[in-house]
Structures are given as structure tokens and as C-alpha cells.
Chain A
Amino acid sequence: MRAEKSVQQHNAEVDFAALARMAKELHSYVEIGMMPEARLRTTDLRSELAVAIRHHEAFIGAHLNHLQDKQIDLKLVTDALNQGAGSLSQAEKIRLLEMTGEILDVLAGQSGQLRSNVESGVQNG
């Protein structure tokens, strides 16, 4: 049972590390104004985050609310970008950069927490 938990926790860490990489790519695309690429990455990240939360909820612990909040952000960003990135106001462009930065912070933090748990043998976050 303990071995199974360890494997699951390792998988959670691997998945969240992959999500953090996707979030970093998304943030980079937004920074350099590659909006079609940013739109694709937002969609990917949204669906993969949903899968990861569902699979690894037991290991996420107190950060679940943060992740759910970021899921809503990704949904709102996806909807807006799908309407056409050209129609974004200046304030929305700035907010997009802030939001993708926050998403990166949250996912990198979650990944780091899971890695730390794996290394120290803690069973959940």
C-alpha cells in the first residue's frame, strides 16, 4: 500500500512538473506577443490541469483551492482568446501577462511541494 502511494505521489510530481513547463511556455508566448501560440497552450494547459487535479487530488492538499481558482482563470482566458486576441484591450493584455505569471507560480510551487514530499516521504501535501 505504501509502495503504491509512493508511485502515485511520484506520478503526481511528474505531471505537475510537466504542467509547470507548459505554464512557462504559455507565459513566454504571452511575453513576446505570440498570441495564437498562447491560445493553443492555454487550451492544452486547461485540459491537462483538469486531468492532473482529478488524478492527484489526494496529494494536492491545501493548494486545491488555488488550483481551482487558476482553472477558472484559464477558462476565462480561453474564452476571451477564442473570441480573438486582437480584440483585447491594453488592460486585458497586461492582465493576461499577470495571470499567466501567477499560473506559472502556482504550478511551479505545487510541483516543488510534491517533489519535496516525495523526497521527504510525506504522503500528502
Chain B
Amino acid sequence: MAEQPQGIANKGFGRLTPPPKPNAESSFTISPPPSPTSTSSERALKLIEQLQEKTELGKLTWTTGFEDGQFKVVLPRGELAFVAQVKGNVRRFLVLDERQEVILEETITDDEALDEQLLSAKDRVFDAIGKLQALARVRALQVHEKLAKAEKLLAAI
């Protein structure tokens, strides 16, 4: 049986208390939310296309995720992470913020993508996720490098 969840901040692992700081005035600004001119599918599509472009240029380092067919890329300073997944007939695209909260999620099945009523944005996102996942897979698994090595190894036999 697992222990109950433990917090490291309040369990007395030998933490020391630093001297108190003088009060600092906090200031913050409130930015207006972006105008809702596009649907989440359109936003996803735009991001996926940008990711495809940067991936083709070799500017993003994709690695394997956890689930089958899942690949992830974390931006250099960790502000955002993107996940592309193709699992069976489901394609998924996630955008996570620096706290790993999902700020955009598109999950589309091939049934939805083929539905005439939903065609357009959903359909394009479905195709775009597939293309991005294929690119990410090639990069994360270093497919080209390994196949080139395979050719050399076979040639040397």
C-alpha cells in the first residue's frame, strides 16, 4: 500500500528558515485577452504549421513521449511544450504552459475528420497532426541517421 501523498514543504526534512525579507511592493499588469477571432482548431492548425516548418529546419528537438505514437518538444526555456500523437484512429495535439497545464488541446478521430459537416478546420488539423507527428517521429527516433548507418553496415558485410 502506498503512503499517503507527502509534501516536501511541511514534512520536516531538515529545512531551515531564512531570515525575513523586508516587504517588497508587488506590481503587476493585466493584459487584455487576445481577441477571439479564431477557433481552437484554427489556432492549433497555425501552431502545427509553425512547428512543421521549424522541425523541417531542424530547429526543434523532439523526443518520445509516454504513450504509443506520442512525441513531445519543450521550448528551450520551458515556457511551452507541444505534444503530437497518433494512436490508432485518434490524433491529438497539445500545447502545455510552463506549469504543464494544457492550454490547447485538439483530439480528433478519423470519423470526425471524415464527417462532411465538420470538414474544413477539423479535417485540416487531423491531417496536419499526422504530418507533424511523422516529422517528430523521424527526428525523435533519428530515423534518417539510423537508416544511413544501416546502409553502411549492410554495405560493409
Contact = CB atoms under 8 A, between A and B. Distances in A.
Contacts, number: 89
B74 A14 contact: no
A72 B19 contact: no
B113 interface: no
Contacts of A29: 2
Nearest to B12: A14
A43 B12 CA distance: 21
Interface in B63-93: 63-68, 70, 72, 74, 76, 78, 81, 83
Nearest to A46: B100
A48 B68 contact: no
* Interface majority SS (helix, strand, loop, mixed), chain B: loop
Interface in B41-75: 63-68, 70, 72, 74
Interface residues of B, number: 32
B67 A34 contact: no
B16 interface: yes
A54 to B, nearest CB: 9
Interface of A: 3-4, 7-8, 10-11, 14-15, 17-19, 22, 25, 29, 34, 36-37, 40-41, 43-44, 46, 48, 50-52, 64-65, 68-69, 71-77, 80, 89, 91-92, 95-96, 99
B96 A48 contact: no
A105 to B, nearest CB: 15
A76 B72 contact: yes
B96 A91 contact: no
A15 B72 CA distance: 27
Given A64-B78, A65-B78, A40 B5 contact: yes
B98 to A, nearest CB: 8
Contact of A11 (B7, B15, B63, B96): B15
B36 interface: no
